[in-house]
Every structure is written in C-alpha cells, then in structure tokens.
Chains A and B, each alone.
Chain A
Amino acid sequence: NAGVTQTPKFRILKIGQSMTLQCTQDMNHNYMYWYRQDPGMGLKLIYYSVGAGITDKGEVPNGYNVSRSTTEDFPLRLELAAPSQTSVYFCASSHPGLMGYNEQFFGPGTRLTVL
C-alpha cells in the first residue's frame, strides 16, 4: 500500500512552459486535493475532486487545470508557467468518515521552480 504518490519530486521550468504534476493514490479514496505551500503561508487549496469526472476550484485555482478520469489519478496541469507558481505542491486524498470527518493523507510533494 503506497498511499499517495507524486511525480516528479523536483522540476525546473522556464516561464511559459507547461507541465503536468502527477498524483496517484491506491487507497480507493473518493476525494482528492491539490495544495500549494509557499514559505510562511501555510497550504492553500488549488483544486479538489469528489470522484471521477467531478472537480471544483479551491482558493487559488488561477493558472492551473485538473482532470479526474479515474479514482486513482488526479493530475494537475500548469499551462503557462509563471514565477508566481514557484512552490511546493502537495496532493492529498481522503474518504468520508463518521461525523463528516475525512482525514486527508498527503503525498511527499513536488518542488517546482519557474525561472
């Protein structure tokens, strides 16, 4: 049981390039999330999904796109990379539990630098 895996671990992009951050979970969780972590800012939610084919925006969705064609995968797409997207990106997954509580399990992160 690998949990939540993310690839790549590190990436450097030039301004205007595009890339896809991969996220896969093997826990059969319905819910998946993408966060970005900036120094001194905590984690901010970019997009989330409640199941295959269903996605919605979080707090900071501009400049990103997502898709969810399977339960396991939730890729995050950057179309035109900008320096403001330099950050550490975390994927998480969860499953509905008792009392509406759903613990989120996090991947190891992708460190992205845009130059």
Chain B
Amino acid sequence: AQSVTQLDSQVPVFEEAPVELRCNYSSSVSVYLFWYVQYPNQGLQLLLKYLSGSTLVKGINGFEAEFNKSQTSFHLRKPSVHISDTAEYFCALTRVYGGATNKLIFGTGTLLAVQP
C-alpha cells in the first residue's frame, strides 16, 4: 500500500520569505509524485510533477520540488512567497503504470498562510 504524509497542517510565513512544505511518502513500488494547489473556494490545480529524470522539478508560479528516493521525500520550495500564494497545498502520488484504476493518493494538505 502507498501513503503520503504531510506533517505540517499549517505553515505561516511572511511575504518575500522562503518556504518549504514537507512531503514524505511510503511505497514498495515506483511512484509518480505531484503537488497540487487549491486556492480558496476553487478546485485543485497541478503545480508540478515528478515522473522520471532530474530529481529537481520546476512548476508554475516559481515553485520547485526535489525528489529524494533515499529519504522518500518530495518537498516543495519557493525562494520568495507572495500574498497570492496563500492556499492549501496537497502532495499526492500514483503508482507507475497503474492506469485509470491507479488512484491518486493524497496527503492531508498544508495550508500556506502568507502574511504581509
């Protein structure tokens, strides 16, 4: 079975400060990893994904994440946040070659609260 853990339910940060949102996963098989963002009262939007290749992946809005297989982590980072980055961020995984029956498994989410 696979699982995703986001230890921080909330991360308060001041505008223009750097931020890291932590994500750890557990799986006995190869997985693809994702970060989704959910702005207030909106659906989920894909921020970035790791499928293969370079372990550092860049996404939209200046976010990036690093896949670390030995530590089973996929932390999300941004060097300087803006008020508009305030949102809920979900880490998720899916099994490689799982097809449609391969459901997305989500973490419980981290609320990034950017303060002026």
Q: Is the CB of B49 within 8 A of A96?
A: no
Within 8 Å of chain A (Cβ to Cβ): is B100?
yes
Q: Is the CB of B101 within 8 A of A48?
A: yes
Bin chain B's interface residue count. 20 to 34
Q: Is the CB of A102 within 8 A of B43?
A: no
Q: How far is the CA of A103 from the CA of B46 in the complex (A)?
A: 8
Q: Is the CB of B43 within 8 A of A107?
A: yes
Known interface pairs A103-B49, A104-B104; A109-B43 also in contact (CB < 8 Å):
yes
Bin chain A's interface residue count. 20 to 34
Q: Is the CB of A106 within 8 A of B96?
A: no
Interface 1/0s, chain B 9-39, versus A by CB < 8 A?
Answer: 1000000000000000000000010001000
Interface residues of B in 36-62 (CB under 8 A from A): 36, 41-46, 49, 51-52
Give the top 8 A-B pairs by smallest Cβ distance, nearest first: A100-B97, A42-B106, A106-B43, A31-B100, A106-B44, A50-B100, A42-B108, A43-B106
Residues of chain A having any CB pair with chain B under 8 Å: 4, 30-31, 33, 40-45, 48, 50, 56, 58-59, 90, 92, 94, 96, 99-104, 106-109
